[in-house]
Structure 1
Amino acid sequence: MRKIFKNIMNLALAMCIVLGMPISKSVATSDKIEDKKAIILILDEISLEDVLNSQTPNIDLLLENGAMGFMNIRARSSLSNRGSTYLSLGMGVRTLASTKGGLAFPRNQMYPLSDYSLVSEYVTVSDIYKLYTGKTPPDGEIINIAIRDIERTALDITPNNQVGLLGKIAKEKGLVTGVVGNSDLDVPAREITMLAMDENGIIPFGSIESDLLMTDANVLGGIKLNQERLLEEVERILPHVNMLFIDYGDTVRVQKTNRLTTDDIKEEQKIKAIERADSFLGQVMKKVDQEKTLFMVITPNPSKEVVNQGNFGLTPIIMSSANTEKGLLISNTTRREGLVTNFDFGPTILDFFGVAEPRSFIGEPMQVISNENPTEVLLRNQAQSLYLRKYRSVFHQAFIVLVGIALVGFYLPRFIKWKVLPNKILNYLSLTIMAVPLTMMTVSLFGYKYIGFDLFYVFGGAFIISYILNKIFNKKWITIATLGLTTSVFLLIDIFFVKKLMIISPLGSDAIAGGRFYGIGNDYMGILLGSTLLGFFSLFHLYKIKKPTMAVFITSYMILVIVGLSPFFGANMGGTLSAMLIALLILLIVFDKKFSFKKIMIIVIGVIVGILLLAALDVLFNPNPTHAGKALESLITGGFSKFFEIISYKLKQVFWNLINASWNVILFSQLILSILLYRWESEILVKIRENYPNLFKGFIITLLGGIAIFLFNDTGTIGAALILNYLFIPLGVLMNDIVECNGEGRFHKFF
């Protein structure tokens, strides 16, 4: 269809030339689009507090009818390579930039042919471009001569993506880009060009040369932008462009030259630079029709101060146009108020011009949630993110210690003649462990302020819950079933309705690292599946429910779990895959069907087909497809190379987690326990299967579910360890109960 349309347009063009008729403008270059402008002011390496502490009347004016938020700017590089964030913004993917990515110059500027200082031969930048690329540069005022190194570096780590995607789409749709300003100090620092350029490294209009700078003994580094010259270039370029990117690099120069000064002077200099930028923005605002202009103020890289605090991924962003209102930014990529990503930057600008490119970018256009006090919300969210970033490992390690004590207390006496803890303590400890996910979810309701209080709330609260439930119910397994089902139901309520508690839990995701922004993470996915299985099979054990009724109850509930994990709610594809496999295993095991290689293969194939169908439905019926739908699309368009790219990335994540994840010690302990119990305690396992058949079935499904979670998730180490807690903790309780009831001190003789 596209070829037919192209042929028709070519034929029409030929007829116009032959007949001498005037050529009408295309939709992309209609008067309506040409009248619109997007002004993107870049204030790099600053924080939200820096903006709030500055006198910025023009930014304040934008915020009266505009929104602000934090943008996750993470790229695939260290913090020292600031160009990667610019390239990621332009490509719409986390990538790695060449360290030479700032080498951009005016087309006809003279450039040294050799780096050898004794040879002073110069050629034009166009000649250098042709030398490096083998091609004559296309028309455009600005050329990035490092385009091939940029492309090679980025596509090596993120293949099947497009360098200069934003500029390329703009060019194809008849939108013209321009860039002014730089962050030069000792060397050219024009990384902004990697954001605005097309796939050839070309920007149609621009002025980025060093003559935009002036000396000033009152600023750190002695150099600042000459606003008069910069404004002249803006006035020259503005009539010819739709998108104008302004690099007000004075904030970067302050950061580069602050080693010899005090913190107070550095902060004062940074504020002055921001205020100069705001003054310049005010002059630019007078040059455009504000009713037809989108204004954005972005910070591609965090300041050194906030990085030292632990915030290496969130920077302030402001957006304002005639169609926005005062409030907080959000997007379908994050589904969190006040938070967007660098993936959303390109789609937002294109959406303003009426250009829909949902299949080119993985991000979504930013939207606005009305709010009269956006700064208050953002500061609170930032404090919360920093708190979790700092103390998340403390919560996890404390939880791991509790689980480790329980495993040692339950199982060490099975193999040596030494009882570590009394049964009563072990029973309360096991119930406390199963209540911890509930208190972890609700701790945010009381605010993250003091780590001592929060730890007491999480673990002390879990103990109180276990103590109360133990007093209410006469039977221990009713308490266990209640805890399991309560946890499961509570998680589903959060997935379908609240959509918040898990995300900001210590067992949730990290907004700064940006691994997941909404839905259910692998930590709680393992807990959801484990608590569901333990809760239901404990009930089946207590009330002797018939097999068909049992199958109907748990299968119906598992459908809810699968939907909750699916792309439409939980956005956890590995969890969806694991849950579907578990649901099929439940039917086989409940009805005592024997396993065979053929059955296993049929189950796995069926699950994969089901996942593909979910992703296909996501693409067909969701106007803003989730990552699952877009992943399917990229597989279709990218073929096997895209498939292997995804698999390679997932495997790297798996191996990284095997080495670094804190839950490894628990998972390895559980693996060793499985081997030891199977090898030396098979007799007791057989007795449990005979006397507690429904519980045993739940244990088997949980074990297989743990394997599935480990295989189907890039961070499956944590999810597998957490689901297996719902096997080894209750199994330990059961073994202790059996020993106590039979009055034997040794595990081998209690029958």
Structure 2
Amino acid sequence: MSKRPKNSKTLWQWFLVFLISLLVYDCSSMGTCVLAEQESQENRWNHFSPLSKQIVLLSIPGLSFMEMGWAGSDGVLGLPQKEDQEAGLTEGMPHLKALGLHAAWGAMNIRTPAKGLENVYISMGAGQWAEADSSVQSLNQGERVDQEWVGPYYRRLMGQEADGNIIIPTIANIHRKNAANWYQASPGQLGEMLRAAGVSLSVWGNMDHARSTAWDNGNNFAAVTDKRFRRSAPLLVMDKKGTVADGDVGGQGLLVNHDRPYGVATHYSWLMEKWKEQRLPALTVMELGDLGRLYEERNSYDQAAFGRLKQRILSEIDQFIGQLAASVDTVSGGAAELWIMSPQVNADALKQKALLAPIVRYVPLGGESLLTSATTRRTGVVSLVDLAPTLLQSYGLSTPKEMIGFPMTAEVTPNALEHLLEDVGRKQRVYKLRPSLLYGLAIYEIVVMLLVLLAVLFKSLRPIRDKEKMFWRALLFSLLLLPAGLLAMGWLPTASTASTEAVMLMITFVLCASLALAWAANHPKYMMLGLFWCGLIVSLLIFYDGLHEAKAMKGSVLGYDVMIGARYYGIGNEFMGVLLGSALLALTALAQAQRLTRRRKPLGAALPWRHTDGRSGSIPPVQSAGQTKGRNAWLPAAGVGAVVTGYLAAPGLGTNAGGALSAAVGFGALAARLAGWRSWRQLAPALALLLVAALGALWLLNAGAATGLAADGQSHIGRAFGSLGQGRLDVIGATIMRKLNMNGHLIMVSAWSKVLITGLLVMTVLVLRPRGRFQQWQRRYPYLMHGCAANAIGSIAALLLNDSGIVAAATMIIYGSVPLLLLRLDDI
């Protein structure tokens, strides 16, 4: 009978630390979540009868946070740019600022898979990522398509009369396009439901580059469609037949003004009259196109003239906002609302990487607050797919299953606009720094691994000296610690996040810690302890941050970004790979260090040995591979793996389905190898069972069966399981294909693919050259070698089971290749 390993006590203590921390968090957060939910319910807007609701939605293409008080940045230091301050934009919009005490402010992600203003509008109306052809046009009844009247043209294409004053004649093509793409969107869903509920829908204004003045013999206004038409706003509230009951997107909403872009200007008094004519309940959309036209013609302007004209246009927009707000205040019962949003930021904002667009919801007598939604779970941040569910809720309608967004809610926040602008600036700095820093990190990892590999392979041509060996060790340890430094940057004060000083501070700290570890790693035992501390520190930092709403991860350049919109909460694939790799390394390195400390001598007394650098000592005990096999040897790996998998699967923590499955595979492979299962015939069935068990845990945690969460409280994983439960195999299949397509694209273009290839190359070369070295490592360092093998298996699982798995696999493989390089250096 095998004896119980003496190191099991320490390993179980480490496991219990993880478990107890998680349980304490769950107990403490339960009450917090309940209180937060109560506060959220209390802060919702008062909902009036749908029969009396009246909403006016101003869409201002070209508006960004630069016009709302944020002046852009110079580099990553957050210094205001002079050319963005010449207009004094915030002071030029006093009416918009005055709404602040009674408005909810938000930053809206307007990124869509297909670029173009038309795709933003149609996605808003669908509540899902939808697509419209760039040539799509909205026309009034009485206008012409080339030489054909739009009414007969629509009847010929659709086989029925157009039931509305605004017509999108190519609606059939739009439906075909969306039926064939990955997202299975339903364009016109918002307008269809509101119209069926008796809500009066109308759209007024446009972004046209010209005002048509041709009249036919019947004294009817006629226009010929051409490339100067910019009429995408009706896509927001059209019904599924491509019509809007009321409105005017033609030349009536424009005035001839040769001092304005393209010689036209918005007819504000006409828009005000149309708003006053609306009957209840009503949703009125008004597109103010002057700012968008100005930016489209910007290249032709003198810079000073452009700045003066921009001030004038913003002042007119602000005055109109003030008039509308005053009119909304007079609506009986306070049942009117004013929405202000931007479906497209201007070129200056794009240049500064400020991609989030402003959105404001003004309700008379409402409180100053910040918008949020279950889509983002981020205070002050919403998605464009949340607009349709919010409007439906305002009229007493529920969100249909075709929509992926959720109704927006408001969180009372003093000085809401100030806090929002500060948060937007922080996100902009992180997003702006991310490409250069991450590309630099990827290149650094590749160069270090390849240089060390070449140095140890060609040591006979150029011997490695002691100081050089320490230098290589320090660089290798820095690869393990850099993710911790990048995560810690997210905890810095807002003004310092992603600044040059923060980057230099992080690099200095990592290099100092790496040098200390390299200096101490003069013996295999201390090297293992160094690897253990690297893995433990990194994994515990990620755990701690995840248990505290992932605040650091959300502000880290290695984390996810709301500008991209691929993820808003939980743990991203970058840190998911780091967590799995570091936890596997910490567990196995600790076990190996303890085994070396015990100095077991199954073959007799230890033999004297001498390093090539002159240090003397004794040969580490040679162990057979089977010595890691024991009654309880696999339990610590199974326990820690269960905690990591549960963390990644939990909807309030990691919320990463692919990560949970990858953790089950990686830690399952480690536990199986420690239990003595080495062949693939033994491993494959065990890993398959673990995947099934992990899927079951995901379902219990996310589908609502175990948590009892409402639909708007579930994560995106829970909604996917909900679709599966409803038999929506088409949705699940489209999701899988979309993720596979994304993964294939990233493998081809991402720098992380080069990191993964380099890591696998390093591991392969070290296993094969020189012959017999790998078998020696397996006898001397069995725990660590099992960990490296589990890391490689987990990396492959992460690659296959995640939509951007190349990122997770690349960040994970570092924790398998670096220990092998350190062992090879120590053997020289």
> Structure 2 residue aligned with 1:185, among 204, 209, 226?
209
Q: Mapping of 1:31-50 within 5 angstroms? A: 32-50=49-67
Shift of 1:420: 6.5
SS in 2 for 1:50: coil
CA drift at 1:299: 0.2
Distance, in Å, in 1 between the alignment partners of 2:353 and 2:422 is 15
The DSSP-based 3-state class of the residue aligned with 1:423 is helix
State the 1:599 CA deviation: 3.8
Which residue among 489, 503, 524 is the counterpart of 1:455?
Answer: 503
Alignment of structure 1 residues 406-485 onto 2, 5 Å: 406-416=448-458, 417=460, 418-419=462-463, 422-444=468-490, 445-446=492-493, 447-448=495-496, 452-468=500-516, 475-485=526-536
Quote the Cα distance in structure 1 between the aligned partners of 2:727 and 2:311: 46
The Cα offsets for residues 534-588 of structure 1, whole Å up to 9 and x where unpaired, read as 0111111122498555544343333332232223322222111111222332331
SS, match of residue 706 in structure 1: helix
Match of 2:398 in 1: 356
1:59 aligns with 2:100: no
> How far apart in 2 are the matches of 1:225 and 1:687?
79
Distance 1:142 1:290 in 2: 31
The Cα of 1:413 is off from its aligned counterpart by 4.0
How far is the alpha carbon of 1:704 from its aligned partner?
Answer: 0.5
Residue 189 of structure 2 aligns with which residue? 165
CA 1:456–1:665 in structure 2 vs 1: closer, same or farther (change >3 Å)? Answer: same
Q: Which residues in structure 2 correspond to 1:217-256 (within 5 Å)?
A: 217-236=258-277, 238-256=278-296
Give the structure with the higher percent helix.
1
- With over 3 angstroms needed to count, the CA separation of the structure-2 counterparts of 1:381 and 1:207, relative to structure 1, is same
1:629-658 CA deviation, whole Å, 9 max, x = no partner? 222334455744333322221122112111
- With normalisation by structure 1, the TM-score equals 0.86
Q: Equivalences for 1:6-25 in 2 at 5 Å?
A: none
Partners of 2:239 and 2:644 in 1: how far apart?
44
Q: For 1:560, give the aligned amino acid.
A: V
Residue in structure 2 matched with residue 304 of structure 1 by the alignment: 347
Residue 721 (structure 1) aligned with residue 810 (structure 2): yes
Which protein, 1 or 2, shows the higher relative CO under an 8 Å CA cutoff with sep ≥ 6?
2
Query: What secondary structure does 1:362 align onto?
Result: coil
Q: Which residue among 176, 180, 183 is the counterpart of 1:152?
A: 176
1:278 partnered with 2:318: yes
**Of the candidates 138, 141, 162, which is equivalent to residue 104 of structure 1?**
138
- For 2:114, give the aligned amino acid: S
* Residue 570, structure 1, aligned to residue 654, structure 2: yes
Give CA deviations for 1:407-442 in whole Å, capped at 9, x if unaligned: 234422443334567221122222222221111112
C-alpha deviation, 1:87, in angstroms? 1.0
Unaligned runs of 5+ in 1: 1-29, 741-751
Choose from 695, 720, 726 the match for 1:631.
720
Quick check: 1:530 aligned with 2:581?
yes
Which residue of the other structure, out of 111, 114, 133, is the alignment partner of 1:77?
A: 114
Amino acid at match of 1:255: Y
Bigger Cα displacement from structure 2, 378-387 vs 328-337 = 378-387
Q: Give the secondary structure class of the aligned counterpart of 1:428.
A: helix
> Per-residue deviation at 1:327?
2.7
1:442 maps to amino acid: A
- SS for the counterpart of 1:395 is helix
The 1:185–1:475 alpha-carbon spacing in structure 2 relative to 1, beyond 3 Å, is: same
Task: Please list every run of 5 or more consecutive structure 2 residues that lacks an aligned counterpart in the other structure.
Answer: 1-46, 70-88, 211-227, 596-627
**Aligned equivalent of 1:689:** 778
Say yes or no: does 1:582 pair with 2:666: yes
- The one-letter code matched in structure 2 to 1:47 is S
- Does the CA-based 8 Å contact 1:388-1:506 persist in structure 2? yes
Match of 2:214 in 1: none
Does 2:392 align with 1:341? no
Write the distance in 1 (CA, Å) between the matches of 2:500 and 2:339.
41
Q: Deviations over 1:496-523 (max 9, x none)?
A: 1142101211111122222222221111
- The residue number in structure 2 matching 1:13 is none
- Work out the CA distance in 2 between the residues paired with 1:31 and 1:350: 13
Which of 789, 810, 815 is matched with 1:700 structurally? Answer: 789
Q: For residues 709-748 of structure 1, what are the structure 2 equivalents within 5 Å?
A: 709-737=798-826, 739-740=827-828
Pair 1:560 & 2:643 matched:
yes
Q: Superposed, which structure 2 residues align to 1:203-214 within 5 Å?
A: 203-214=244-255
Letter in 1 for 2:188: G
CA separation of 1:511/1:373 partners in 2, compared to 1, >3 Å: closer, same or farther? same
8 Å Cα contact 2:429-2:498 kept in structure 1: no
> Root-mean-square deviation (CA), in Å?
2.7
The 5 A counterparts of 1:393-412 are 393-412=435-454
How many Å apart are 1:196 and its aligned residue? 0.9
1:497 partner SS: coil
Cα pair 1:66 1:324 within 8 Å, conserved = yes
Going from structure 1 to structure 2, the CA distance change for 1:150 and 1:65 (only over 3 Å counts) comes to: same
Q: How far apart are the structure 1 equivalents of 2:178 and 2:755? A: 37
Q: Is the 8 A contact 1:214 1:225 kept in 2?
A: yes
Aligned to 1:140: 164
Q: Secondary structure at the match of 1:70?
A: strand
Aligned partners of 2:392 and 2:175: how far apart in 1? 23
Q: Is the 8 A contact 1:619 1:630 kept in 2?
A: no
Contact kept? 2:470, 2:519, Cα under 8 Å: no
Alpha-carbon distance in 1 for matches of 2:295, 2:324: 25
Summarize the Cα distance change of 1:58–1:592 in structure 2 as closer, same or farther, 3 Å threshold: same
1:219-266: CA deviation from partner (whole Å, max 9, x where unpaired): 232211222222222222x21443111112222222233332123322
- 1:335 positional shift: 2.1
Cα distance in 2, alignment partners of residues 126 and 281 from structure 1: 34
Q: Deviations over 1:153-176 (max 9, x none)?
A: 333334422011211232344433
The TM-score with structure 2 as length reference comes to 0.79
Count the aligned residue pairs. Answer: 695
Match of 2:563 among 507, 512, 515: 512
Alignment of 1:587-626 (within 5 A): 587-594=671-678, 595-596=680-681, 597-617=684-704, 621-623=708-710, 624=712, 625-626=714-715
Among 154, 178, 199, the residue aligned to 1:175: 199
